[in-house]
Structure 1
Amino acid sequence: MGTQNLVLVVGSYDDAAAASSDYQTLRSGQDAGGYEIVGAVVLVRDKDGKVQVKEHGDKSVGHGAAWGAGAGVVVGLFAPPLLAATAVGAGIGAILGAIKKGREEKKLGDDIDEYLAPGTSAVVAVVDDRWADNVEKALARSEKRLTKAIDSENYEKLRKAIEESDDDIVAQINS
């Protein structure tokens, strides 16, 4: 799959179980051949504001290729500060800074507090834009949704930097 026309799709949930269920629906739709997902995660933010990155249920992301290949990129594109909190390496930091600056210049309203307020969850997915409607439908239990285009150059640079630093990121997450 190319990375020319990618979008970020976010569903926000007051209930973590609903987010997990929609994540499973999202994965089932891909497995059935309805669309292709580049990467997707469930984010859970506790009442104190601490964020956990999960795939689904109790299986945490952050082990080997699963983090580097998709989840880290998804988190970095949605909320660069979340990835920066665990990422090491100048390459990732520079790319995250460029993504954040680009968002500020474009005045994009994907503030983490709006879509992942304390005590809520979110399903965040990166997909080809032709699948955006299908993915939004899979996130049926979400209270609100956001779909926005992703700069393909930022996506590729971030993916490459994460793959090159994968072992360092995993070590940091697991420490």
Structure 2
Amino acid sequence: MAADKNLILVVGTYADAAAASSDYAVLKSGEDDGDYKVDGAVVISRDAEGKVSVHEHDTGKVGRGVGIGAGAGIVVGLFAPPLLLATALGAGIGAGIGALQKRHDEKKLGLDVDEYLPPGSSAVVAVVDDTWADKVEAALVKADKRIAKAIDEDDYEELQQAVAKSEDEVSKAAGS
């Protein structure tokens, strides 16, 4: 992350998956119109049994690997490290995210999954520069809850490295 960039995690939660998809379309449209810039965004859904699915909608700046791509992995990991483990990019992600999981457990990183993504709900999760946080949060008009939380630069860089390492391992395994 550039030293002059202060990233914010913006989350909107929804009881209705269609509302989340609609707000994601509004979010993307605002970005396409030049109203703000989104570094990465995903729609995360959790079914009634608690199974999580991630719909990747990153801005395409980061390469995509097997499973969810790196950009989506970073967004998911910043939102809730346990979800990244559940939707793992590869075998190496477990070891690489251990320290992030510990900080999440200590309430220093991420959000409480059960509060912001209870079974039967969806969320739009976006990573944006703090310059755009208010506009992005306002774009999530159908959200039942909204939150914006600063991202620690060290956490971001550590997660980026863990996701990149995991993608490399998956690529090597797929090529062998």
Q: Into which bin does the TM-score normalised by the smaller protein fall?
A: 0.7 to 0.9
Judging by fraction of residues, say which structure has more helix: 1
Q: TM-score, normalised by structure 1?
A: 0.82
Match of 2:138 in 1: 137
**Cα distance change, pair 156–122 in 1 and its aligned pair in 2 (3 A):** same
Match of 2:37 in 1: 36
Shift of 1:98: 2.0
Deviations 1:23-52 (A, max 9, x none): 011111111111111110001111000011
Deviations 1:132-164 (A, max 9, x none): 101101101000011111111221222233223
**Cα distance change, pair 109–152 in 1 and its aligned pair in 2 (3 A):** closer
Considering only aligned residues, what root-mean-square deviation do their CA atoms show, in Å? Answer: 2.8
Q: Aligned partners of 2:45, 2:104: CA distance in 1, in Å?
A: 23
Shift of 1:12: 0.4
Compare 13-22 and 29-38 and name the one that shifted more: 29-38
The residue type paired with residue 157 of structure 1 is E
Residue identity over aligned pairs, in percent, reads 59
SS at match of 1:130: coil
Compare 99-108 and 124-133 and name the one that shifted more: 99-108
Match of 2:152 in 1: 151
CA contact (8 A) 2:66 2:171 kept: no
SS at match of 1:165: helix
Aligned residues: 166
Q: Aligned partners of 1:152, 1:162: CA distance in 2, in Å?
A: 15
**1:117 lines up with 2:118 in the alignment:** yes
Gaps of at least 5 residues in structure 2 are 58-63
Q: Aligned partners of 2:168, 2:41: CA distance in 1, in Å?
A: 20
The residue type paired with residue 138 of structure 1 is A
Q: TM-score, normalised by structure 2?
A: 0.81
